[in-house]
Amino acid sequence: MTNSPSSNRQHTGQEQFLTILSREEALARFEAALFPRPLPTETRAVADTLGLALADDVVAPIDVPPFDRSNVDGFALRAADVADASQARPVRLALNTETIACGTVPRLPVLAGTATPIATGGPLPRGADAIIMVEHTHPAEAGVIEVRRGVAPGQFVSSAGSDMARGEVVLRAGTVIGSREIGMLAACGIAEVTVARKPRVAILSTGDELVQPGEPLPPAGIYDANGPIVSAAVTENGGEAHFLGAFPDDEAKLEQAMRDALAAHDVLILSGGTSKGAGDVSHRIIGRLGKPGIIAHGVALKPGKPLCLAVCDGKPVIILPGFPTSAMFTFHDMVVPVLRRMAGLPPRVDAQVNARIPFRIPSELGRTEFVMVSLVQGQEGLAAYATGKGSGAITSFTQADGFIRIEALADHMPAGADVSVTLFTPQVRVPDLVVIGSHCTGLDLVMGELSRGGISVRSLAVGSLGGLAAAKRGECDLAPIHLFDPKTQSYNESFLSEGLELVPGWRRMQGLVFRPGDARFEGRGAEEAVRAALADPDCMMVNRNQGAGTRILIDQLLGPARPDGYWNQPRSHNAVAAAVAQQRADWGVTIAPVAHAAGLGFIPLTEEHYDFALVSERKQRPAVQAFVAALRSPEIHAALERAGFKPAV
Ligand code: AMP
Ligand code: MG
């Protein structure tokens, strides 16, 4: 059943994942191969046990408090002496000639008709059975007090062992030690406890392309993100992380590194090299490291299909997929449960909230899919926008609030569906200002200004039409739009529905981009250039996504034509420029600042109005006011102009 590497399969080219297990099946097999086994334990000083799990029950070695003790400042007395005391018939008590402070051992008994001054925390003297507060007594002549109310036996006394009784189990095995537990152990005099030893986890990145942060990045180099993320996530989940560095895809060297790591650690976690592509070697080595070897290679997870789970002579060996986002999801979903169990910690509980999905999310049938989402507050609860940047994107992690799970049997999540979002943080953080719509680098200038002023901002790029829809649903404060209405020959205003008003933003020159020197475009006017492009069957375009204002412009230019490249529909101006610059396309439509930054040729088409549809109801909110003020400020105007935009007012 398992994908045994000892089979004499050919290792040339791209191997297939012969057996893809469901996540449940893979996890069950992995856990069955690892547990039960006794957890290694160690004895540590109590101060050094924060976050660790107790290995044994802790029994109180003494009574706490160790003696009967006063809870207040007052007088120790016999309750029976003052049972009948009242305003009309005060009882007089003679004071004994000692005062019991904390740490004082009483010498004199409290005989009938007497009382002893006692401080909070003082040990009760022999004969006394209650305390009266000093406020409830009246001084009489020297050495005498008057009591004008009755006192119940035991009043204001904590008796020995009332907090913890000697021999009582005060903390159960498995309890995770926090500051309160440490206080409890200290109170009964315990200086050392036995805890589950933190699993020692070796972390290794693999890939010829990897470079450690801080080093210069050579061409085709990639910074090693997995090493630091996995190390931190291991620490967060009770492991002792030892990052051993990034290793090239060299079978002999990697095998030596894996053997050394496994000898000195309880767990080995690698990342990369599991895709079964040419040059991916780590999974082939595992079979030689110990029995039973690979448990699952290929799990029906998205992202994360190439995950490889193995057990070598009792120790878990895991190869995470190379893409950092895939590595993190598989780590949290498949490795964290095992790691926490090895650390003696309870399963992780992540906070969940319910939210509505504004757009349909397609999903691959047969794989459990994780989709990261950003949350915004709508009128009827939270809305969860897919951050949708693909498994190679790392920012999707930092910009997302959490993720949703689309079950293996579903091929999509419909728009409007209610979903449960697993949060990355204990609470939802709803930003002060939410901007949803078309993205523009000019917007970053305004948002950056607000952010520096302490306002938490979020902008989600869903295109102009998506932004208007979000504004109508009350999910954002402002929707940046640039929509041309051919009927009125004007921008934006005619697209506003009731409850929305226009805040002028800036103007940006849109135009055709091409590589300088391309004779089909160089020196021509826009319409002529498009005609030349359409006339050449080898000329490849790059389009924009449905809903983008730029797309409407492109559709107008093309009319019914559908040239090669039409279906390449990226979501941003920068992607259009990159496609042309890298020769994946020959022309597209983008804005002047982006074209210039990419060193491309530019044929101006039309000045586009980039404005904001403001949700009128939200106009008075301080963050919205701050946004509008920033938009009008001379500093932002100057910054916009420097970046190639023209402020509208
Ligand atoms: P692999 O599984 O080795 O084929 O890697 C898949 C992708 O993940 C490639 O684009 C790698 O460059 C990338 N990758 C692998 N390891 C890392 C890492 N430690 N940090 C960042 N990216 C990585
Ligand atoms: Mg690799």
For 162-181, the pLDDT digits (tens) are 999 999 999 999 999 999 99
The type of residue at 647 is P
Residue 407's CB is within 10 A of a number of other CB atoms, namely: 10
Identify the residue whose C-alpha is closest to ligand 1 atom 23: 322
Nearest CA residue ID for atom 22, ligand 1? 323
Domains of the chain, start order: 5-37+199-342 (3.40.980.10), 42-60+170-196 (3.90.105.10), 69-158 (2.170.190.11), 352-423 (2.40.340.10), 432-649 (3.40.190.290)
Residue 389 confidence class, pLDDT cut points 50, 70, 90: low
How many other C-beta atoms can be found within 10 angstroms of the C-beta atom of residue 108? 14
Q: How far is CA 243 from the centre of its chain?
A: 22
Token code pair at residue 75 = 């007088």
Average pLDDT of 103-115?
97
pLDDT of residue 211: 96
Cβ count within 10 A of residue 38: 6
Q: Is the predicted pLDDT of residue 4 greater than 50, yes or no?
A: no
Tell me how far the alpha carbon of residue 331 lies from the centroid of ligand 1, in angstroms: 15
Measure 173 CA to ligand 1 centroid, in angstroms.
40
| Contact status, residue 320 vs residue 271, Cβ threshold 8 Å | yes
φ, ψ dihedrals at 233, nearest 5° = -70, -30
Which residue is associated with the tokens 């913890």?
Answer: 164
Rounded CA-CA distance 1/11 in Å is 19
In tens, the pLDDT along 71-99 reads: 999 999 999 999 999 999 999 999 999 99
The atom of ligand 1 lying closest to the CA of 323 is 8
Question: By alpha-carbon position, which residue is closest to atom 15 of ligand 1?
Answer: 322
Question: What is the predicted pLDDT for the residue at 6?
Answer: 38
SS3 23: helix
pLDDT tops 70 at residue 491: yes
Gap from CA of 272 to ligand 1 centroid (Å): 5
The kind and range of the H/E element at 533 are: helix 526-535
Helix ranges (H only) for 315-472 are 324-330, 336-342, 395-399, 441-452, 463-472
Q: What was the pLDDT predicted at 7? A: 38
For the entire predicted model, the pTM comes to 0.73
Please give the residue that has the higher pLDDT: either 542 or 574. 542
Mean pLDDT of 180-198: 96
pLDDT in tens, 130-162: 999 999 999 999 999 999 999 999 999 999 999
Distance, first Cα to last Cα, the chain? 69
Nearest to 325 by CA among 308, 349, 301: 301
Look at residue 600 in the predicted model and tell me its pLDDT.
97
Atom 16 of ligand 1, residue of closest alpha carbon: 322
- Write down the pLDDT at residue 1: 36
Q: What does the pLDDT read at residue 552?
A: 85
Substitution candidate for ligand 1 out of 210, 212, 320 with most atoms within 8 A of CB: 210
Give Cα 157 to chain centroid, integer Å: 49
Coil, helix or strand at residue 465: helix
Residue 192 predicted with pLDDT over 70: yes
HSE-CB at 466 with a 13 A cutoff on CA atoms is 22
Tens of pLDDT, residue by residue over 203-249, are: 999 999 999 999 998 888 999 999 999 999 999 999 999 999 999 98
The mean per-residue pLDDT over the stretch 411-424 comes to 92
From the CA of 230, the nearest ligand is 1
Pocket of ligand 1 from Cβ distances under 6 Å: 205, 207, 209-210, 222, 224-227, 271-275, 277, 280, 321-324
